Amino acid sequence: MKNIVIVTTGGTIAMKKLPAGVDITPEGNQEIMELEGLTNLAQVKMVEFANLPSPHMSPQLMWQLSRRIQGLVDRDEVDGIVVTHGTDTLEETAYFLDITVLTKKPIVLTAAMRNINELGTDGPRNIFSSIRVACSTQAIGAGAVVCLNDEIHAAREVNKTDTSNVATFESPGFGPLGIVDEDGVFFFRKSTVRYHIPTTKIEPHVALLKTYTGDLGEFIDYAVDKGYKGIVLEGFGRGNVPDTIINSLKTAIQHQVAVVLVSRAYKGRVLDIYSYEGGGAYLKKNGRDSGPRANGPKSAHQTDGGLGKDFSYRRDPGLFRNGQLLQDERERQLERFYPKDARGKRGSGSEKGVWHYGLCVFIRLERLRLYDPAGFRRR
């Protein structure tokens, strides 16, 4: 029987309907361990990391959670991890863990849209299904995944799409990785665009701004004045913005603020094809860089922290096979950023490394560099 650790963080899955409304209860996380039939699936241990509503999650807490999980998966007796979380920010935490925890062991994040004492609560079913995924050999090497409503989604691709429906999590443009059925766990595909980034530091001063028709750039100016190190801007379509914010963007770049442009569209890539003022090609010529195929919140987190120190990292095609960093290069990165001590154990790492949350954006202090994760080429 597999050994699975459930790491609890709170969320609706641990909440109850109280007289004043749905809220956290001190015993909410513990009640997960009291579900009937849980021990028939695996040897289960619970670690209570936090008991918070997920809007209270922060990059700093995500980093602490990442380090806690890294410590757990480094133990030989642990076969997999299930993380219980609130749905509102689950996709961000899942994305964070996917690139900051170095392991092939399954990491499955789950949640509930209905609280513990609500009619038709989905929490128990989601926990059972997630444990089954964490026990599955098919989940080995799949990275962090999200499992709700008997569907399995890649952390990079998944989005919460409905405010109340139990089938809220979808992967627009991609679809689920697999499903959980009565007779087993079934993966139909794997996300090949994955890698680990060694990290020791985060920089929380990154703003997420959404542009709109009539935008005059005041919020960009405000972020620059307040000393933000990075701005992720949700533009239109292929990555275009109103011409009325161009001067604000130029000012931000002149102040060495990293500007990453993503699209407010759920599907498709940002690409510099329009040369008119405010178009993607025009912006690229003037120092803006485009983000990966990810939504605004994920792209905002991916810029958190890469500005903390000078960190140059070239993604060499020779180091990758099917989107996976080759083992010898993984070891080289580990030795560089997490050197072994005299006893041959890896410590928490030196201060050489810098954490950068994202799939293809790499920061140097003087310039933002972008690499295409599919073709391993700079764009």
Active-site positions read 12
Burial 59-83 (b: 16+ CB within 10 A, else e): bebbbebbebbbebbeeeebbbbbb
Collapsed DSSP state (helix, strand, coil) of residue 368: strand
Helix (H) or strand (E) holding 220: helix 218-225
Contact 130, 82 (CB under 8 A): yes
* Angle between helix 296-303 and helix 90-100 axes, rounded to 10 deg: 40
Q: 178 vs 5, 101, 115, 137, CA distance in Å? A: 22, 22, 25, 13
Q: Which amino acid is at 311?
A: F
Determine the 3-state secondary structure of 257 from DSSP: coil
How far is it between the farthest Cα atoms of the chain?
62
Contacting residues for 237 by C-beta, under 8 A, at least 6 apart: 263, 265
Which pairing describes strands 43-52 and 367-372: parallel, antiparallel, or unpaired? Answer: unpaired
Helix axes 90-100, 59-73, angle to 10 degrees: 50
Burial of 159 (0-12, 13-18, 19+ CB in 10 A): middle
Query: Any long-range contacts for 19-26 (C-beta under 8 Å, 24+ apart)?
Result: 22/115, 22/118, 24/51, 24/52, 24/53, 26/51
The closest alpha carbon to 154, from 128, 136, 173, belongs to 173
Residue owning tokens 């990491």:
107
Q: Where are the alpha helices (DSSP H) in the chain?
A: 28-32, 59-73, 90-100, 123-135, 218-225, 246-254, 280-285, 296-303, 327-337
The answer to whether the CB of 193 falls within 8 A of the CB of 219 is: no
What token pair was written down for 257? Answer: 């603020």
Residues 63/202, Cβ–Cβ less than 8 Å: yes
